[in-house]
């Protein structure tokens, strides 16, 4: 294997430098060489990585947008719940009073029925 790379001569140093630049995150400065050669591979690799990163960024943006919309929905729901709570308390209190009234009516009716 080592002898294979020695056969590349100076090109192996260039390839090594390109791979190091890619490893450091430089996906733009790599020369794009057409064809199917070893020299063209780093350019193709950069294009593939660039596409992958673009897809990840797009997904992250979509998640961020969805998270913001969910947070806004939660705030809206919380605000409406806070506004509705007092009227729900009043309704519950009125229902409680109504139930007590109905119990008294039932008691009166029971006493009246027992006298008949």
pLDDT digits (tens, 9 = 90+) for 12-41: 777 788 888 888 888 876 767 777 777 778
The structure tokens 């997904």 sit at 59
Question: How many whole angstroms separate alpha carbon 88 and alpha carbon 95?
Answer: 10
pLDDT tens across 73-98, in order? Answer: 999 999 999 999 999 999 999 999 99
Are the CB atoms for 33 and 43 separated by under 8 Å?
Answer: yes
Is pTM beyond 0.75? Reply is: no
Query: Is residue 19 a contact partner of residue 38, using CB atoms and an 8 Å limit?
Result: no
Question: How far apart are alpha carbons 106 and 116 in whole angstroms?
Answer: 15
Helices then strands (H, E): number in the chain? Answer: 3, 0
| Contacts with 49 (C-beta within 8 Å, 6 or more apart), sequence order | 22, 27
């Amino acid at each position: 294997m080592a002898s294979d790379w020695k056969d590349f001569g100076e090109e192996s140093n260039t390839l090594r430098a390109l791979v190091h630049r890619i490893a450091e995150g430089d996906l733009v400065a790599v020369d794009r060489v057409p064809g199917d050669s070893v020299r063209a591979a780093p350019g193709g690799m950069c294009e593939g990585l660039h596409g992958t990163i673009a897809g990840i960024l797009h997904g992250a943006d979509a998640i961020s947008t969805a998270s913001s919309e969910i947070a806004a929905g939660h705030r809206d729901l919380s605000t409406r719940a806070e506004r509705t709570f007092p009227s729900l308390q009043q309704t519950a209190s009125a229902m409680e009073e109504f139930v007590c009234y109905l119990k008294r009516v039932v008691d009166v009716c029971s006493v009246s029925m027992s006298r008949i």
